[in-house]
Amino acid sequence: MTDQATFPAPEHDHNVCIHRAISVAEQLCLTRGVQLTPIRHKILELIWNSHKAVKAYDLLDQIRPVNDAAKPSTVYRALDFLLEQGLIHRVESLNAFVGCHCSGTQHDQLLLICTACHTVQERAAPSVLSALSKELGDAGFVPQRKTIEIHGLCKTCHPATNTAEEQAIQ
């Protein structure tokens, strides 16, 4: 993940993201000695089907054609595992989940959530998180985790941020 990460373009080949996320997950699970079971694998794949946050019950609806015995607890157990392994993030404000772009490392999160297309972008934002850490330290507050969620419009959905050429394409 870099600070230069952008919201994916409409013509984005998302299969590359899915393949990368699954490969990273398989390698991390192997290294950690934990199992990426078929249901966990499928849930991770479904989350990575787009860069949009997905709700647990939507995942349940998507998994039932593959596993008709799946129950909410099945999905929630898989989500808990994926969260514990750092393979996904919970988008608290949406009560939904999105794939993690830098799995395998503990990190703070700045999530930009487009209110128009519902895409979520994860950013490192070291200067923002450094300033936040200083404020927390000054307050004597010890955080357990930090996630900042900002709702707005991405470059694709906000015409004022598009160049004249990009607007002509749309």
- Amino acid identity, residue 41? H
71 lies in a domain? Answer: yes
pLDDT in tens, the chain (170 residues): 333 345 666 666 778 888 999 999 999 999 999 999 999 999 999 999 988 999 999 999 999 988 888 899 999 999 999 999 999 999 999 999 999 887 766 677 789 999 998 999 988 888 888 899 899 999 999 988 778 999 999 988 887 655 544 444 44
35 lies in a domain? Answer: yes
160 lies in a domain? Answer: yes
121 lies in a domain? Answer: yes
2 lies in a domain? Answer: no
Largest CA distance in the chain: 52
Total domains, the chain: 1
Q: Which CATH number fits the domain that encloses residue 46? A: 1.10.10.10
- Residue in 58, 50, 105, 52 with CA at minimum distance from that of residue 79: 58
61 lies in a domain? Answer: yes
Domain carrying residue 30: 14-169
6 lies in a domain? Answer: no
SS3 132: helix
